Structure 1
């Protein structure tokens, strides 16, 4: 039966009603600071205001760029709220004031921003979620390096660990994603002319983050991310119209993590594979420890993995080894959940240990049939 003729369940009807009440999110995405995301947002805001929409600014970061400051013009700005934190008075976007003001559209910059610790919500994207729930449309902006699943790739490219990140799943709730793209040469020229950072920071930026190779790689990531987003939207539209089914319907991905340095990187890699295949992701931790005997550090690690699992809509499993070899425990879980692809980190064992105790990968291959195994290198990203 075609989807449009199938009778909807009460849950689906309620979900559709909530979706219709929700505001629309449009995000400008760029490869780096200075590409012109905020400028484009302000241009669109003026165009929409001219068409009769009630448009306000919730928060705009001009970074003292005169062209951007001038473009604000007569747009109404919702005042920020003051927050007392450790004896200091700090400013944050006033989410409740925006909701009370109830405009047709609000501009909110720096989507990945972390709020002052005593704020009602930890991250600005969470504030945006509340505003969208209230039925207000949002225009926002973010750079590619702030996407959670790209964290390790960006660190490997630039040597910089980006601490402020947003879930990919939130970005994918946007009704529209617009790439603001300029070449590395133009971006470096803007930086040299003092249009991005204060003159005192220009030389350091040009020789570190804003190198031509870094900007080229980040630009490629941005182009690929937006292209993938377009593909996903086409696939969803086709699926809704009964033209095809999800490409990874027979696939299931499982990531195996231990208490090493690359566990989160493995999870992000697994999610990107599962997301491309439109299939389920399982995160597996095999252990011989009972929870009450774990160290504080290991407990924190497991909580971090669970946080990523929730963010990536993955199933998190802790499997007790119970006198089995670790390879047997992994394959038992894989068989139980019909896993078709297993992702492992590079073994920390020496060559002699592998000869003496056996290769985990070889043993998994011996215990399974028809399962692909991906080995992710444990190479550390370069630092500057």
Structure 2
């Protein structure tokens, strides 16, 4: 019996893209089916900044590990949901994996839900939404959790303190190395 499944993972800039690709890669291995990775870039390809290029290179490396096809498309004048749905149709994708939407409730109310928009466009393609919290336990591999610190001003000088210290407290928060 032939397997007609095809998986596409959608990634956007940030620390979760590689984890989504790995998630899709493991699922593709289990189902013994092709894997596609799509990044919808909000600018022309030739004007990626250094951070974006770093993510793209890392994603390409991860795609190579899983034998995935990496696709990058721009959305200067089109909605990301339209581009994702069109790409899914063109490649006969049966399962689509996305990360949890970064939309706030207010954005969802005023602009509409990205997930609902996507569901309306992908037809009978299954949609998997991977919660950011579910990936958080893997964050220690690549990201620090941060340290609670206080910014202290002593005359003209500022410094970070994680305990009691002499000087005026200017701000408190998380510090990431």
Class of the TM-score when normalised by the shorter of the 2 chains:
0.7 to 0.9
Q: 2:57 aligns with which of 289, 297, 303?
A: 303
User: TM-score, normalized by length of structure 2?
Assistant: 0.74
- The runs of 4+ residues in structure 1 deviating greater than 2 Å are none
CA distance in 1, matches of 2:43, 2:78: 14
For the pair shown, which has the larger CA radius of gyration, 1 or 2? 1
| CA deviation after TM superposition for structure 1 residue 313, in Å | 0.3
Write the deviation string for residues 179-199 of structure 1: whole angstroms up to 9, x where unpaired.
xxxxxxxxxxxxxxxxxxxxx
Alignment of 1:113-152 (within 5 A): none
Question: Are residues 1:344 and 2:98 paired?
Answer: yes
Q: TM-score, length-normalised on structure 1?
A: 0.35
- Flag the structure with more relative contact order, 1 or 2, with Cα contacts below 8 A and sequence separation at least 6: 2
User: What corresponds to 1:362 in structure 2?
Assistant: 116
1:324 aligned onto 2:59? no
Q: For 1:318 and 1:292, locate their aligned partners in 2 and report how far apart those are by CA, in whole Å.
A: 12
Q: Quick check: which one's helix share is greater?
A: 1
Q: CA deviation at 1:368?
A: 2.1
| Rounded Cα–Cα distance in structure 2 between residues aligned with 1:344 and 1:286 | 12
Give distance in 2, aligned partners of 1:256 and 1:278.
Answer: 19
Q: Deviations over 1:357-377 (max 9, x none)?
A: 111111111112111000001
Cα distance in structure 2, aligned partners of 1:357 and 1:338:
29
C-alpha distance in 2, partners of 1:270/1:313? 11
Pairwise CA distance, 1:323: 1.4
The within-5 A match list for 1:60-139 is none
Write the deviation string for residues 88-138 of structure 1: whole angstroms up to 9, x where unpaired: xxxxxxxxxxxxxxxxxxxxxxxxxxxxxxxxxxxxxxxxxxxxxxxxxxx
1:272 to 26, 30, 46: 26
More strand by share: 2
Unaligned stretches of 5+ residues in structure 2: 146-177
Please state how far the C-alpha of 1:322 moved relative to its aligned partner. Answer: 4.2
Residues 55-86 of structure 1: CA deviation (Å, up to 9, x unaligned): xxxxxxxxxxxxxxxxxxxxxxxxxxxxxxxx
Deviations 1:161-180 (A, max 9, x none): xxxxxxxxxxxxxxxxxxxx
Q: Indicate conservation of the 8 Å contact 2:99/2:132, yes or no.
A: yes
Question: What is the match of residue 373 of structure 1?
Answer: 127
